[in-house]
């Protein structure tokens, strides 16, 4: 729909609350762009450019890359935005770390969960950093894309899915071996060399470590089988004392009952010789089984409702077994815990739950299905903020773009919580949590009106400001 650009200037009274623009500016300043709590002219200029870029991500438009985003903000100049995103050396990883500290105080709690995942960005330009033929969940096939490993924080609240709060605090580009082993290609894309290849699970583990170093409270770490199948990741989490609920491929993992007798290395050495007798072994005749086989023989399924969705209750049939995970058919590991099983039309699903022995079956099922909330973040960040719209070919530019998307997204999450608290203060017993799309719409209206009120118009900006007015009036009138 085309928006009219000849609407009269609205009559603006004093706002009832500080405008969203000021709150966004304060959020950026608390997190820090170009340094935390520094106030030199350079840092002030970089924070102003960050504010313009975040506004461009918030405002409606088909593309959220640098040029169209800058065009939506009357005060922004494309050349300055491009240099700020592509070339400016501000420390994006430091900003992501400060984001954890900011959100820890306002949107976390002891029931929180960490979720490791990755998100593909389909790309045709092979010179963009990290682009290679790899599996893209967006297209359901192998194609040219970038893969970004991310870690989100989920704060469950009640049984209604939309009431849960989720925000992402870390995004790191995965570099396939074809990139890591090609220093010239990396240098062309601005990637610091030398580059050590890191599997996705190692990147996710580093992100969990970041959360732990900043004291982000949580009960466990979750992941799908793309990460759960990596025994090295599960072992590293156990070494850290980090509880987890990791989905594993039901036909691949081998387990025995946790009470199955184990031969210790010294017992084995007493009966045989050789270098192979240095690890524990199962007693002869002890069979290992897969989660799939356990599910096929199970008769004690329990129907559990794990949440209330937008279209009704979400429920399934679950059971569990106390198991020890094995490496192959003979070598038992120290990984003992609940094996959670779910019956589905496509075959059984399975999760290894470690460090959570005291939880009931219902609690484990609910926790396992909280993982999908990181997919909600991916959808919101793409649809509302153009997370996958970056068109630059430089590693630094991509990381700057993703960091500003995280800052903008967490700002909207805080606006969601503030709006709910305001509704409850006005007498609603349990005010609903607005969706992120609803919150962005409200913010855009406030920001557009604020722009009209405060921008000194000049001939080159009049059309953009009129457009902002039209958007605000159109959306306000639409309800």
pLDDT in tens, 66-109: 998 888 887 889 999 999 999 999 999 999 999 999 999 999 99
Residue 292 to residue 265: CA distance in whole angstroms:
30
pLDDT category of residue 127 using cuts at 50, 70 and 90: confident
Per-residue pLDDT band for 126 (boundaries 50, 70, 90) equals confident
Task: Place 464 in a pLDDT band, splitting at 50, 70 and 90.
Answer: low
- Quick check: 289 pLDDT over 70? yes
The whole-chain average pLDDT of the chain stands at 87
Q: Tokens 């210790």 belong to which residue?
A: 264
With contact defined as beta carbons under 8 Å apart, do 159 and 182 qualify? Answer: no
What is the pLDDT at residue 6?
A: 43
What proportion of the chain, given as a percentage, has pLDDT over 90? 64
Closest CA to 5 of 468, 364, 347, 445: 468
**Phi-psi region for residue 184, left (φ > 0), alpha (ψ -120 to 50) or beta?**
alpha
Residue 81's pLDDT is 95
pLDDT at 278 over 80: no
Estimate to the nearest angstrom the gap between the alpha carbon of 466 and the chain centroid: 36
CA pair distance 284, 287, nearest whole angstrom: 9
Q: Which residues touch 277 (CB under 8 Å, ≥6 apart)?
A: 265, 268, 269
Peptide bond into 100 cis (omega under 30): no
Q: How confident is the model at residue 4 (pLDDT cuts 50, 70, 90)?
A: very low
For the chain, how big is the Rg over CA atoms in Å? 25
User: Between 62 and 351, where is the model more confident?
Assistant: 351
Of the listed ranges 34-48, 396-410, 427-441, the least confidently predicted one is: 34-48
**What is the pLDDT confidence band of residue 167, given thresholds at 50, 70 and 90?**
very high
Angle at 221 between CA 219 and CA 226, to 5 degrees: 160
Judge whether residue 428 has pLDDT over 70: no
Contact 433, 420 (CB under 8 A): yes
CA–CA gap between residue 248 and residue 222 (Å, rounded):
11
- Residue 417: its pLDDT value, please? 93
Round to whole Å and give the CA distance between 123 and 128: 8
Give me the mean pLDDT over the 111-130 stretch: 93
């Amino acid at each position: 729909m085309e928006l009219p650009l000849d609407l009269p200037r609205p009559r603006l009274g004093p706002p009832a609350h500080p405008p969203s623009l000021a709150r966004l500016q304060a959020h950026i300043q608390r997190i820090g762009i170009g340094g935390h709590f520094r106030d030199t002219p350079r840092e002030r200029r970089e924070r102003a450019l960050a504010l313009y870029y975040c506004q461009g991500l918030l405002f409606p438009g088909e593309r959220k890359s640098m040029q169209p985003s800058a065009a939506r903000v009357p005060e922004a100049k494309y050349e300055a935005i491009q240099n700020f995103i592509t070339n400016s050396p501000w420390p994006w990883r430091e900003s992501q770390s400060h984001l954890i500290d900011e959100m820890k105080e306002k949107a976390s709690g002891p029931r929180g969960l960490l979720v490791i995942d990755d998100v593909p960005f389909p790309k045709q330009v092979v010179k963009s950093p990290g682009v290679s033929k790899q599996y893209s969940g967006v297209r359901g096939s192998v194609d040219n894309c970038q893969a970004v490993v991310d870690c989100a924080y989920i704060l469950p609240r009640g049984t209604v899915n939309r009431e849960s709060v989720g925000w992402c605090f870390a995004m790191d580009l995965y570099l396939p071996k074809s990139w890591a082993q090609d220093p010239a290609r990396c240098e062309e894309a601005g990637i610091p060399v030398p580059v050590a290849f890191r599997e996705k699970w190692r990147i996710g583990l580093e992100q969990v470590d970041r959360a732990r170093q900043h004291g982000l409270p949580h009960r466990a770490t979750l992941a799908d089988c793309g990460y759960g199948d990596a025994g090295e990741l599960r072992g590293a989490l156990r070494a850290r004392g980090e509880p987890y609920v990791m989905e594993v491929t039901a036909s691949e993992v081998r387990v025995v009952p946790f009470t199955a007798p184990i031969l210790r290395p010294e017992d084995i050495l007493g009966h045989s010789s050789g270098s192979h007798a240095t690890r524990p072994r199962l007693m002869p005749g002890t069979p290992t089984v897969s989660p799939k086989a356990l599910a096929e023989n199970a008769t004690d399924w329990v129907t559990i409702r794990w949440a209330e969705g937008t279209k009704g209750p979400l429920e399934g049939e679950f059971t569990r077994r106390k198991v020890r995970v094995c490496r192959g058919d003979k070598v038992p590991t120290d990984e003992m815990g609940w094996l959670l099983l779910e019956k589905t039309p496509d075959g059984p699903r399975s999760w290894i739950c470690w460090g959570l022995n005291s939880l009931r079956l219902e609690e484990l099922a609910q926790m396992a299905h909280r993982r999908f909330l990181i997919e909600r973040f991916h959808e919101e960040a793409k649809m509302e903020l153009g997370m996958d719209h970056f068109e630059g070919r430089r590693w630094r530019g991509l990381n700057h773009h993703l960091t500003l998307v995280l800052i903008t997204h967490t700002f909207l999450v805080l606006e969601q919580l503030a709006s709910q608290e305001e509704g409850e203060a006005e007498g609603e017993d349990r005010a609903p949590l607005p969706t992120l799309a609803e919150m962005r719409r409200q913010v855009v209206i406030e920001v557009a009106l604020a722009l009209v009120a405060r921008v000194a118009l000049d001939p080159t900006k009049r059309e953009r400001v009129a457009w902002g007015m039209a958007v605000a009036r159109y959306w306000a009138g639409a309800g």
